[in-house]
Chain A
Amino acid sequence: MRKTPLLDFHLEINGSIGSFARWKMPMDYGNMLKEALETRNNVTFFDISHLSRIKVKGDDSEEFLQRLVARDIKKVKENFISGPTAFLNFNAGFKDDVMVYKFSKNDFLVVGNAVNHDKIVDWLHENIGEYKVTIEDLTFNTVMLAVQGPKSIEIMRKVLGDIIDSLTPLKFHTDIVTEHGVIKLLSYSGWTGETGFELITDIETGEKILRVLYERGVRPAGLGARDILRIEMGYALYGNEISEDINPIEAKYWVFSWKKKDDYIGREALLNILEKGVEKVRFGFVAKKGSALPRKGMKVFVGNREIGFITSGTFSPILKLPIALGYVLSKYSINGLRVNIKGNKRIIDAKIVEPPFVKNL
Chain B
Amino acid sequence: MSEEVQYKNYILLKDRKYQDTHEWIKLIDDKKARVGITDYAQKKLKSIVYIDTPEVGKEIEKGELITTVESIKAVGEIISPVNGTIVAFNEKLEDDPSIINSDPYNEGWIVEIELKNPSELDKLLDVDGYIEVIKKEEGE
Question: Which A residues are within 8 Å of any B CB, using their own CB?
Answer: 16, 28, 31-33, 224, 228, 290-293, 314-315, 322, 344
Contact = CB atoms under 8 A, between A and B. Distances in A.
Contact of B46 (A28, A314, A322): A28
A8 to B, nearest CB: 17
* Overall SS of chain A's interface: mixed
A308 B75 CA distance: 23
B27 interface: no
Interface string B18-49: 00000000000000000000000000001101
A32 B47 contact: yes
B72 A314 contact: yes
A16 B101 CA distance: 15
A293 B47 contact: no
Contact of B49 (A16, A28, A322, A344): A322
Contacts of A344: 75
B70 interface: yes
A293 B46 contact: no
A11 B101 CA distance: 21
Given A32-B72, A293-B70, A224 B46 contact: yes
Interface of B: 46-47, 49-50, 52, 70, 72-73, 75, 94, 98, 101
B50 A224 contact: no
A315 B45 CA distance: 14
Nearest to A33: B47
A290 B52 contact: no
A311 to B, nearest CB: 15
A28 B50 CA distance: 19
Nearest to A320: B49
B94 A290 contact: yes
Nearest to A313: B72
4 closest A-B pairs by CB: A315-B49, A33-B47, A292-B50, A293-B70
Given A224-B73, A290-B50, 8 more contacts: A31-B101, A32-B72, A33-B72, A224-B46, A224-B72, A228-B72, A292-B52, A315-B49
B72 A293 contact: yes
